[in-house]
Amino acid sequence: MSATLIDGKKSAAKLIAECSEQIAELTAQGITPGLAVVLVGSDPASTFYVRSKSKKCKELGIHSVKLELPAETSQEELLKVIDDLNNDTAIHGILVQSPPPKQIDEAAIIAAIDPAKDVDGFHQVNVAKLVLEDSSGFVPCTPMGCQRLLMDYGVETEGANVVVLGRSMIVGKPMALLMMAKGKGANSTVTIAHSRTKNLSEVMRGADILIAAIGKPEFVKADDVKEGAVVIDVGINRVEDLIDDRGYRIVGDVAFDEVAPKCKAITPVPGGVGPMTIAMLMANTVKACKQITG
């Protein structure tokens, strides 16, 4: 089978164009959406993501505040930053890059963010709204991006067996909730599998749609995938590569070269889910701005 390559850059560009139209409408009313991105410490991957998010805001005309705080920032200092952003009327979206350094209680930080500005969709109120299928809430950007890719490529999700590999709060759990919800691009039968799942390979082979978000380089092999499955690879893993100038290369959670020939469609890494996450963050920021100012 020759797999369709699911082009995340193309889908993301479409979504960004939709955001751009909505931003123009807001600008015409004298409103500029604002996003604050907070990074504590200088983890290289997190620094890269935060800068990419700020850059995309600038391209789109979203007011962007990038706060790069020292690694030794205390819980109290970070809570104060969040409080200031909650009260800043120019800011409609707040994102604290995960994971923070060890001294930070991440759950308490997320709980301190105004749910109306929680464009990551991590706050309890937004998690509950996802469970309740209340569309006024914010859904985490990566799973929303995965769902949008499936929809853009006309993948049948209705009644499909979806296996989500990974149970994180950022991807696995919200991904499962999105796919089991009622509606377009959803209505699926969902299994969450993870590192402790028995007969994991067999479970993955039952998937019509396999969404890999386990954070282990090239974990999913050809034998784990059913012929004709659709595979969405959320993984962004650095592996040593002495031939590459950077000394590393990025691979997904799926062994692409051996899995792709079995698939109906598959996302590449990079260029698959990654660009969708940033585009969805822009979409959530515009949504927050409209809800707050509307």
- Would you please indicate which residues are annotated as catalytic (active-site) residues? 53, 97, 120
Residue 170 in contact with ligand GUN, rule: CB under 6 A: yes
Minimum separation from the CB atom of position 37 to ligand GUN (A): 8
Residue 22 in contact with ligand GUN, rule: CB under 6 A: no
Minimum separation from the CB atom of position 25 to ligand GUN (A): 26
Q: How far apart are CA 160 and CA 36, in angstroms?
A: 38
Residue 120 in contact with ligand GUN, rule: CB under 6 A: yes
How many residues form the binding site for ligand GUN (CB under 6 A)?
9
Per-residue b or e along 205-236, where b marks 16 or more CB atoms closer than 10 Å to that residue's CB? bebbbbbbbbbebbbbeeebbbeebbbbbbbb
Which residues have a Cβ under 8 Å from the Cβ of 10 and sit 6 or more positions away? Answer: none
Minimum separation from the CB atom of position 40 to ligand GUN (A): 11
Minimum separation from the CB atom of position 168 to ligand GUN (A): 9
Residue 98 in contact with ligand GUN, rule: CB under 6 A: yes
| Length, in residues, of the chain | 294
Residue 126 in contact with ligand GUN, rule: CB under 6 A: no
Amino acid sitting at position 54: S
Q: How far apart are CA 242 and CA 48, in angstroms?
A: 21
Residue 73 in contact with ligand GUN, rule: CB under 6 A: no
* Between 54 and 142, CB nearer to ligand GUN: 142
Which residues have a Cβ under 8 Å from the Cβ of 48 and sit 6 or more positions away? Answer: none
With CB under 6 A as the contact rule, which of the stretches 56-64, 76-84, 93-101, 175-183 interacts with ligand GUN? 93-101
Residue 97 in contact with ligand GUN, rule: CB under 6 A: yes
Task: Report yes or no: 88 and 107 within 8 Å, Cβ to Cβ.
Answer: no
With CB under 6 A as the contact rule, which of the stretches 90-98, 129-137, 176-184, 285-293 interacts with ligand GUN? 90-98
**Strand, helix or coil at 274?**
helix
Give Cα 51 distance to the centre of its chain. 16
